[in-house]
């Protein structure tokens, strides 16, 4: 996926992936992770997600990264926030209160920037990427997160042959293939999304959403 694809999606307001409320699976499963209130939480490919505001409301410091400047500016405007803006080698940083958004390339981030991120929440990042970028994403960006980092990963599953992504189908076997080398991966929940749901992906015969708990460290062998 070229950056121009996402810039055009935002320019054309083709952002069906944006939710008008925090992710229900986040609200359900986040408390069980035991992330300390003041911890820094990383949100990759953040868009203008309301999940960031929810995480900040729990007392967390939020660090997001998003390619689209339009999305970043809309997030702060829609929350009535006037961010401080600065430049770094990672991109343009917008910060207000406990939320900082970097307008830049997620693949340009490194361990120095992410060293104090105690947690990660990934709802629409992994599923936005084609297979070759998913492997790079897990092998580079997630590899930059520190030991002990924990988080939630939300995925979609559908017959990939029925539709070209994004969003892409990322089944459980692929999640383990991508992350097992460095992360403990636990499936917490899987549920069908009914066709009448606003999040249903047009053109597929079935659609499930799955959420995984992640913790930095090798996964136990699966039977």
- pLDDT (tens digit per residue) in 104-155: 999 999 999 999 999 999 998 999 999 999 999 999 999 999 999 999 999 9
Check whether 45 is labelled as a binding-site residue: yes
Q: What is the pLDDT of residue 218?
A: 55
Check whether 30 is labelled as a binding-site residue: no
Check whether 140 is labelled as a binding-site residue: no
Q: What is the pLDDT of residue 124?
A: 87
Structural domains for the chain: 3-9+20-216 (3.40.50.150)
Q: How far is CA 52 from CA 48, 82, 94, 167, 207, in A?
A: 8, 16, 13, 20, 25
Contacts of 115 (CB under 8 A, 6+ apart): 146
Percent of the chain with pLDDT over 70: 89
Check whether 218 is labelled as a binding-site residue: no
SS3 188: strand
Distance of CA 97 to the CA centre of its chain: 21
Residue 157 phi/psi, 5-degree rounding, is: -135, 125
Torsion (CA) 39, 31, 171, 182 in degrees, nearest 10: 40
Q: Give 219's pLDDT tier (boundaries 50, 70, 90).
A: very low
DSSP-derived letter for residue 68 is -
- 221 vs 101, residue with greater confidence: 101
The tens digit of pLDDT for each residue in 141-200 reads 999 999 999 999 999 999 999 998 889 999 999 999 999 999 999 999 999 998 887 777
CA dist 128 and 120 (Å) reads: 16
């Amino acid at each position: 996926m070229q950056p121009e694809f996402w810039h055009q999606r935002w320019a054309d307001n083709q952002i069906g992936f944006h939710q008008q409320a925090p992710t229900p699976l986040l609200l359900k499963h986040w408390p069980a992770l035991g992330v300390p209130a003041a911890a820094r939480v990383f949100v990759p490919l953040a868009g203008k997600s309301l999940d960031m505001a929810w995480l900040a409301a729990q007392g967390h410091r939020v660090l997001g990264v998003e390619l689209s400047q339009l999305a970043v500016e809309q997030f702060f405007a829609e929350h009535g926030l006037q961010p401080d803006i600065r430049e770094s080698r990672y991109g343009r940083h917008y910060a207000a209160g406990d939320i900082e958004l970097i307008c830049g390339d997620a693949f340009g981030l490194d361990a120095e920037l992410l060293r104090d991120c105690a947690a990660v929440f990934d709802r629409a990042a992994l599923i936005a990427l084609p297979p070759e970028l998913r492997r790079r994403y897990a092998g580079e960006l997630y590899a930059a997160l520190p030991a002990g980092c924990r988080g939630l990963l939300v995925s979609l599953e559908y017959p990939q042959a029925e539709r070209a992504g994004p969003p892409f189908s990322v089944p459980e076997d692929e999640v383990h293939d991508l992350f097992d080398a460095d992360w403990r991966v636990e499936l917490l929940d899987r549920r069908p999304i009914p066709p009448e749901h606003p999040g249903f992906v047009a053109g597929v015969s079935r659609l499930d959403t799955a959420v995984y708990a992640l913790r930095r460290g090798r996964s136990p062998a699966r039977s």
